[in-house]
Amino acid sequence: MRWKRTIQLLDVHAEGEIGKVAIGGVPKIPGNTVAEQLHWLNTDPKGHELRRFLCLEPRGAPIGSVNLLLPAKHPDADAAFIILQPDQAHASSGSNSICVTTALLESGIVEMQEPETIVTLETAAGLVKATATCRDGRCEKVKLTMVPSFVHELDVEIDTQQWGRIKADICYGGVFYALVDVGQIGLRIEKSNAAALVQAGMVLKEQVNRSIEVVHPEIAAISGVAYVMFRDLEADGTVRTCTTMWPGRADRSPCGTGSSANLAALHARGKARVGDVFKSRSIIGSEFEVGLLAETTVAGRPAVIPTITGRGFTFGLSQVALDPFDPHPGGFALTDVWGPLAGEI
């Protein structure tokens, strides 16, 4: 077979959220830093082409992400990666960091040490330390020391036609989030409400980004609210989450960067202190353990160092390819399974 391009993928999920890892055939991505590589993927036509090739039909699907495994730029890092999703390339993700760590160790790309292996991951947002608990050749769980998380603005008011005035916390946890208490839209975070939550999240994301400009004070390549995460507090103190992702789906995991952003909001309100540990539960009931490791600052503003602990599971190995005669080399998406915004892809 005379394929024009082939990329090997190790299939992994973290607490339900698929994060395939491209472990072979990844082309060279221009840039002296991972942030520059992220910028290239989001601005250069060849970067868009690669993302569409991996994320859209017929080779991709609405659910999950594809992680590009890259050579590290930082001398302390074991590997670098960038997250590809249908809308754009993203800087950081907790669930995808767990998937990448699991893939590196269980594939042998990074040698596994039992009972514990430390893997340093380089992202466009900074270094993420992954401490993996290992036994019998398996990565049992991963504890991530995340990049500093901080509040951009609390209680931002958004006037909506559907729900009146909504309040949101705009916070950073590796990417920017609008954190919205779900009761404001008259829903609960339940499987049966996934479609309604996603539709609301897409509306709110568009309105937030139209009215509020956010740029990381130290990393210009990270800008704009990437996701709306709905949250609720359950009776046992667990934070229930549903992160809504363009063009129309729900994160299956409790969302590591979103939980980190929410931890920054809790800290700013005096509801979280160093040493505290919380549970974050997803729409499908899976859980992350969220800890507040330390306080710090980012460009002079208060910030926290979160930890996220969860499990990754490998479930397949595949290879995607491009036939040079394929009439759909750039991929496609339809509103029947991708959601109402698929027409904008």
Average pLDDT (102-107) is 98
Same-domain pairing of 227 and 115 = no
Rounded to an integer, what distance in angstroms lies between the CA atom of residue 36 and that of residue 42?
10
Residue 35, C-beta contacts closer than 8 angstroms, at least 6 positions apart: 91, 124, 219, 220, 221, 222
Domain extent, residue 108, equals 5-145+313-344
The DSSP output letter for 5 is E
Average pLDDT (209-237) is 94
> What tens digit of pLDDT does each residue of 109-121 get?
999 999 999 999 9
What domain count does the chain have?
2
Q: How far apart are the first and last CA of the chain?
A: 30
Catalytic residue among 171, 255, 259, 282: 255
Cβ neighbours of 233 (radius 10 Å): 11
* Residue 338: burial class (beta carbons within 10 Å; 0-12, 13-18, 19+): buried
Rounded to an integer, what distance in angstroms lies between the CA atom of residue 62 and that of residue 204?
20
Same-domain pairing of 85 and 221 = no
**Backbone phi and psi for residue 325, each to the nearest 5 degrees, phi listed first:** -100, 5
255 is catalytic: yes
Residue 183 to residues 163, 187, 196, 202, 203, Cα–Cα distance (Å): 10, 6, 13, 17, 16
Cβ neighbours of 133 (radius 10 Å): 16
Catalytic residue among 55, 65, 92, 93: 93
Same-domain pairing of 32 and 81 = yes
282 is catalytic: no
Same-domain pairing of 189 and 304 = yes
In CATH, what number is assigned to the domain containing residue 42?
A: 3.10.310.10
Confidence check: pLDDT of 237 > 90: no
Same-domain pairing of 297 and 158 = yes
> What tens digit of pLDDT does each residue of 172-190 get?
999 999 999 999 999 999 9
3-state class percentages of the chain: helix first, strand second, coil last, to nearest 5: 25, 40, 35
Q: Residue 339: which pLDDT band, with cuts at 50, 70 and 90?
A: confident
CA of residue 111 relative to chain centroid, distance: 25
Confidence check: pLDDT of 1 > 80: no
Same-domain pairing of 110 and 158 = no
Average pLDDT (133-145) is 97
Do 251 and 15 form a contact (C-beta atoms < 8 A)? no
Confidence check: pLDDT of 342 > 90: no
